[in-house]
Amino acid sequence: MWGYYHSRRCVSKSRRLLDGRHETFASQYSDHSLLVIQASPNKLLSTLGSDVARNPGYRQALIEASIVTNAALAAYSIQQEFEASERTEMRAVYGVYLLETREVWAPRLSNVKGIGLAAAPHDLAGFADLGNAVVQSERIASYIK
């Protein structure tokens, strides 16, 4: 119940913050989410080879890669809305809370552990870097042994 209430409150607050741009955000976000669903397996397969799909940990690695990529996409979309609303002093960040370690995971090329929040990718090159960081991260490597 708290998660649902918290989500509703955040959505309501976001709608006020973005001056009614929530409909545009929602449609763009759902369109881009489909790309995330396709990008994660493609990156894993192209980097680690097609045999990785037979690895017992591939499914979990794919889930983890999709979750963090989706979080980055959400942060990117929010950052775009901030910039369109001329709220350039605000910055969107993302990360995935790991229940088992109580840490926030957001892989970066400069940090294979990827602990802590990361700034939203700025462009397509930023998402390419994120894909490389995800594949090189210790978390994904732990599933693909």
- Cα angle value 3/118/103 (rounded, 5°): 55
Beta strands in the chain (DSSP E): 93-94, 96-98, 103-105, 118-119
Per-residue pLDDT at 17 exceeds 60? no
Range with top average pLDDT, 5-9, 39-43, 122-126, 135-139: 135-139
**Residues 80, 20: contact at Cβ < 8 Å?**
no
Task: Read off the pLDDT of residues 123-143 as tens digits, 9 standing for 90 and up.
Answer: 989 999 999 999 999 999 999
Domain locations along the chain: 2-143
Residues β-bridged to residue 118: 94
